[in-house]
Structure 1
Amino acid sequence: MPESRRLPRAPAFWSVAVLLVLMLAASGVPSPLYRVYQEEFGFGPGVLTTIFGIYAFALLASLLVVGGLSDHVGRRPVLIAAFLLEAVAMVLFLVADGVGWLLAARIVQGLATGALTSTLGASLLDLQHRDRPMGAFINSASPGLGLSIGAVGAGLLVQSVAAPDTWVFAVLTVVFVLAAVGALLLPESSPRLPGAVASLRPQVHVPAAHRPAFVVALPLLLACWAVGGLYASLGPSLVADVFAIDNHLVGGLLILALNGTGILGSLALRTAPHERAMLVGALVFTVGGVGTLGALLATSAPLLFGAAVVTGFGFGAAFLGAVATITAGVAPGHRAGLLAGVFVVGYLAFSIPAIAAGIAAGHAGLTRTTEVYGAAVVVLALVAVAGLLRARRRAGSLAAAGRAADEREDRLAPAQLPG
């Protein structure tokens, strides 16, 4: 198709944003269905979190291998192939009649989602308006929005229709085939650097200029995504088994309480300096984590939902600040690779602790496991706050030293002029 017939830049940007949310919504759909599958196929929390975790590992493998591929071969070919792979995953869910099929479906979905996460995110940075940069905001807000839509939509179907998995996965199969066709209309926005084959070596590529910001944001990324993994994998089971609310929609609403308010956090701090957004988000996130521990100790569902709202707000603000800080000024040919690095860290924190929690819950119980998990996350968030304050003081000291040097030069300058 000639480039003249592609979508203009602004419609292409918003089309990519919609596709990103749609893909993330599909990744959130299985969460409310896990308990349905548990009852149908007869497996426990350990198997449940393994099904959840294997998706994240497949996604990580995809990010590590093809996360930066679109920087070399173009965004459009990767998008088309990955959307078709998403459609295959939906078909596997559609025909699943046992744990093996669920594992296969989640592996394929993880591979597709990893490729789409970095490529769609890089496309947003490519296509954003220079005077109104929205790429970092949408990249940070879309996980919360997408996961919320997917979880709540699937929860509603579980409560209201027979065979909800058939409905949702049949529709998503068609949607992703149409998305692959629609990707043909997008303009090519990558400079296509050489080295496509070399880029397939598993790696996390963080350009040297962006490493200090990446290190500062690291503890915060770990804490935020670890909580997201706990809610996505065990949240509905927590509502049913610990708080005695046997309603699939309520389990989906708990995920909405966390992820949906993440959007509000991103919006509220969208115009704030990046470092301030990270610090405010980390502090609010810590308060939410303490509230979650209080809800477990008091066995209070309203407090649990309130804490999830506060935690989600902090997550959104912190993740916005982290993404904006890490990607500030990144060269076009390194955008997909750098975003892949951010999401590799995120999905490692999203998956490994949740799998460990699922295994531990079978031995120590879901309540005790969640209490220990929550306490560990609060400590990690406090470490992140301390690191951010230290980085801010260091930056202030450097700025003060620079101003002092300038003042000395100003005082010396007249003495150096010829008489």
Structure 2
Amino acid sequence: MRDETEHDRAGRWRPGYPAAAAVFAVGMAGTTLPTPLYGLYREQLGFSELMVTVVFAVYALGVIATLLLAGNVSDEVGRRPVLLCALGLSAASALCFLFEGGLPALFAGRLLSGFAAGLLSGAATVTVLELAPPGRRARAGLAATAANMGGLGCGPLLAGLLAQYAPWPLRLPFLAHLALVAGAAVLTWSLPETVAQRVRRPRLRAPGLTVPPEVRGVFVPSALAAFGGFALLGLFTAVAPSFVAQTLGVRNLAVSGALVFSVFLASTAGQALMGRVGVRAGLPAGCLVLVAGLVLVGASLLVESMALLVAGALCGGLGQGLAFRAGLTAVSGAAPPERRGGTVSAFFVIAYLGISVPVVGVGALTLWLGLRGAGLVFTAVVTVLVAAIGLYLLRRPAAED
């Protein structure tokens, strides 16, 4: 019987699902590591806020491309090779930032980071679940969620603390992450392989993103809610540190990192809460809590209040996590088994478009309205979208519990 650790047939110790979750968290932390450092790059390289959002958005393009072309590759070659490949891409991304020589290196680093996240999202989640003993599958699911969102939140926190209180602010965070990746690679090498039959040459192919007609009534509001929630995450990971520094006058990078960490921490709590609330109530409730968070973020921009911004981060993150997990559960449950992979992939594509397209729009608006005005327009538009979805779902629930 498997436990958190296990032994193979030769009696050697093998780590279990907590180790896989730790690998997942380390890999995802690298994707958000540059978040509190963008202001330093702006000062050093002299680019605009629009370029910050474009550099950030390249990450989402990498994730989407990987999900479309290689989302199921671990089913063919095994989990460990894909996890090791993802960690290699994460290390390559860190090296791009470590030896950064201008915008091309930043773009390359973000793209490689997106490739790593795309591979980890599927392979690491499945590895955590497959290594769990039968009686601990629910706990493993929560561990995978916590590793994903917790890793995303720990990246800015680690970078902010090191950049603020240690030397080499644009070097040390990436050196630290390289050390963590090396440890994660050793841990990954010792993980049990859960795919019995593997092929040597996997085929990269798009799974087809057509949504079956019978699923569209569930898919459209769920995907739009995910779009709105990820737009909020994108705002905090790309633009909020600049607002904190330029508008609120708080130039402590550790504070910026902690603010972003709080969004992802709240998202993890919201996803855990969905298990108690259920899909039927969770999706509209998550949308309405997300609306409250967006209103608080808008108010913080209007009156220039750090306290309101933190409250908006916590409330918005909670609503995003609740709505996202409920929407994903509803879509996955409604899709026919033979079309489930493509339908879920389409859901993730729309979610990741939410973390990129609106944020680039904010960057463009800063050229005319400034950072504060662009943020107010963003929060107003996304609030209207998510509020409309929430009210629609109150009248027509997406799924039964």
| Separation of aligned partners in 1, 2:273 and 2:52 | 35
Do structure 1's residue 88 and structure 2's residue 95 form an aligned pair?
no
Do structure 1's residue 176 and structure 2's residue 181 form an aligned pair?
yes
| Separation of aligned partners in 1, 2:197 and 2:218 | 26
SS in 1 for 2:167: coil
Residue of structure 2 equivalent to 1:44: 48
Contact 1:282 1:314 in 2 (8 A): yes
Q: CA deviation at 1:190?
A: 4.0
| Separation of aligned partners in 2, 1:316 and 1:8 | 35
TM-score normalized with structure 1 length? 0.83
1:336-359: CA deviation from partner (whole Å, max 9, x where unpaired): 766644432221110111112112
Contact 1:22 1:146 in 2 (8 A): yes
Q: After the TM superposition, which residues 41-120 of structure 1 pair with which residues of structure 2 at under 5 Å, given as runs?
A: 41-120=45-124
**Equivalent residue in structure 2 for 1:233, among 220, 230, 238:** 238
- Choose 193-202 or 90-99, whichever is displaced more: 193-202
- Identical-residue share of aligned pairs (%): 29
Contact 2:330 2:399 in 1 (8 A): no
**Equivalent residue in structure 2 for 1:144, among 149, 168, 177:** 149
Unaligned 5+ segments in structure 2 are 1-6
Read off the aligned partner of 2:372 and give its amino acid letter: T
Q: After the TM superposition, which residues 149-298 of structure 1 pair with which residues of structure 2 at under 5 Å, given as runs?
A: 149-190=154-195, 199-201=204-206, 203-204=208-209, 213-298=218-303
Structure 1 or 2: more helix by fraction: 1
**Equivalent residue in structure 2 for 1:323, among 306, 323, 328:** 328
Residue of structure 2 equivalent to 1:407: none
Read off the aligned partner of 1:273 and give its amino acid letter: G
| Separation of aligned partners in 2, 1:149 and 1:271 | 26
Taking a change above 3 Å as real, the CA distance of residues 390 and 24 of structure 1, as seen in their structure-2 partners, is same
Residue of structure 2 equivalent to 1:121: 125
Alignment root-mean-square deviation, CA: 3.2
| Separation of aligned partners in 2, 1:104 and 1:310 | 33
Q: CA deviation at 1:210?
A: 6.7
| Separation of aligned partners in 1, 2:334 and 2:131 | 14
Contact 1:136 1:323 in 2 (8 A): no
Taking a change above 3 Å as real, the CA distance of residues 49 and 268 of structure 1, as seen in their structure-2 partners, is same
Q: After the TM superposition, which residues 339-354 of structure 1 pair with which residues of structure 2 at under 5 Å, given as runs?
A: 340-354=345-359
| Separation of aligned partners in 2, 1:280 and 1:339 | 22
Unaligned 5+ segments in structure 1 are 397-419
| Separation of aligned partners in 2, 1:292 and 1:169 | 30
Contact 1:69 1:196 in 2 (8 A): no
Taking a change above 3 Å as real, the CA distance of residues 23 and 7 of structure 1, as seen in their structure-2 partners, is farther
SS in 1 for 2:171: helix
Q: After the TM superposition, which residues 321-400 of structure 1 pair with which residues of structure 2 at under 5 Å, given as runs?
A: 321-328=326-333, 340-392=345-397
Q: CA deviation at 1:332?
A: 10
Q: CA deviation at 1:140?
A: 4.0
TM-score normalized with structure 2 length? 0.87
SS in 2 for 1:270: helix
Q: CA deviation at 1:277?
A: 2.3
